[in-house]
Structure 1
Amino acid sequence: MSRFRRADWLDLGLRQLGKAGFDGLTLETLCRASGRTRGSFYHHFKDMKTFVHALVEIWAERQTEAVIAKAEAAEPGARGAALQAAVGGLDQGLELAIRLAARRDPVFAAAQARVDRRRLDYLAALIAEERGLVPDTARRMAETEYAALVGSGLLFPGEAPRSLFDLRVPA
């Protein structure tokens, strides 16, 4: 049997959270799903709190920082399209599970708030850059876009996120 690494526990935790929600994120459930013992878990994590902190950090990295990096790798003027393509690949079930967990757990709530700010800040800067808008207008547009994105995930679970980014406001 191969060694179950820290990254394997975190991958499993994200899958479990996306599949079963906050209540499915227990040590017993994780051990059963991994076929590993509590000792294996505790070899990598001091306790569940440490695990949850690491879990929200890997979620933020994969579902926010990696997405922004993909957009930033595109040429100026094409970053909005690159962002939209990258957002289309996000795990919407996991996004919903994180939002629901944030309503019940302060660690998830703090991570969700931090990620929402990061996403909104990036989107506002991108809208300002690509559309030549003043920061306040770009921020309002970013908030509307992000609200539509989050809302579409709630209204149309399992579908690719819907975006307003490509809609152009007539001059």
Structure 2
Amino acid sequence: MAPPTRTPRSTWIEEGLRALAGGGPDAVRVEPLAKTLGVTRGGFYWHFKDRQALLDAMLETWEQLGAQGVIERVEAGGGDARTKVRRTAELIFTGGMIPTDLAIRDWARRDPAVAERLRRVDNRRVAYLRTLFGQFCPDDAEVEGRCMLAFSLVIGNYYIAADHGGSTRDQVLATAIEYLVA
């Protein structure tokens, strides 16, 4: 008889991030995750000491994928700074990262350690945008303004419920991004 197959650590983390995106940190519980994965919760303890260890691993993964991972993917595609800004927006808007990001932002309002991690990630993201905008904007104030607008666009887009006349949300976002890189 073959030994039982363990659910990989990364699968627990991915499912934890999905639960976080859907219901915040309180939704990340071992028993429901095990049920969703179709495994016993005993397999969880092969990879994590406790729930906090899973939460920490989830935040590490989010930080890596949401900051350095995006930057690496954008850079791998090559192109000039304007192309990279567009690619960054495309990855963020279509990559499915925003629900998790928003859940972490909400969590950070109540947890100082999460708030510090969020600040670190946001600073890394803005630093990257500064390098891109700085390649075609000679004015430091304009670079900061474009960074703020780009970041606000990404986060605020999910809180705006307004209709856009005869345009779709995707069309409006594409126009906004073109203004940022003009």
**TM-score normalised to the size of structure 2?**
0.79
Question: Which residue pairs with 1:154 in the alignment?
Answer: 159
Change (3 A) 1:106 1:48: farther
Q: Deviations over 1:117-167 (max 9, x none)?
A: 1111111211111x23233431232012212221112225xx769463320
CA distance in 2, matches of 1:53, 1:162: 33
Q: Structure 2 matches for 1:46-57, cutoff 5 A?
A: 46-57=49-60
CA distance in 2, matches of 1:31, 1:162: 38
Structure 2 portions without partners, runs of 5+: 162-168
Question: Which residue pairs with 2:126 in the alignment?
Answer: 120
Q: Is the 8 A contact 1:14 1:94 kept in 2?
A: yes
Structure 1 portions without partners, runs of 5+: none
Offset at residue 168 of structure 1 (A): 5.4
Which moved further from structure 2: 94-103 or 2-11? 94-103
CA distance in 2, matches of 1:2, 1:169: 49
Percent identity of equivalent pairs: 29
Question: Which residue pairs with 2:74 in the alignment?
Answer: 71
RMSD of the TM alignment (CA)?
Answer: 2.4
Q: In terms of Rg, which structure is larger?
A: 2
Question: Which residue pairs with 1:135 in the alignment?
Answer: 140
Q: Is the 8 A contact 2:74 2:88 kept in 1?
A: yes
Offset at residue 21 of structure 1 (A): 2.0
The code of the aligned residue for 2:159 comes to: L
Question: Which residue pairs with 1:100 in the alignment?
Answer: 106
**Count of matched residue positions in the alignment of Structure 1 and Structure 2:** 167
Change (3 A) 1:90 1:123: same
Offset at residue 115 of structure 1 (A): 1.0
The code of the aligned residue for 1:153 comes to: Y
State which of 62, 65, 88 in structure 2 corresponds to 1:83. 88
Offset at residue 169 of structure 1 (A): 8.5
* Secondary structure class of the residue paired with 2:178: coil
1:24 aligns with 2:27: yes
* Secondary structure class of the residue paired with 1:166: helix
CA distance in 2, matches of 1:169, 1:15: 32
The code of the aligned residue for 1:76 comes to: D
Q: Is the 8 A contact 1:96 1:154 kept in 2?
A: no
1:167 aligns with 2:175: no
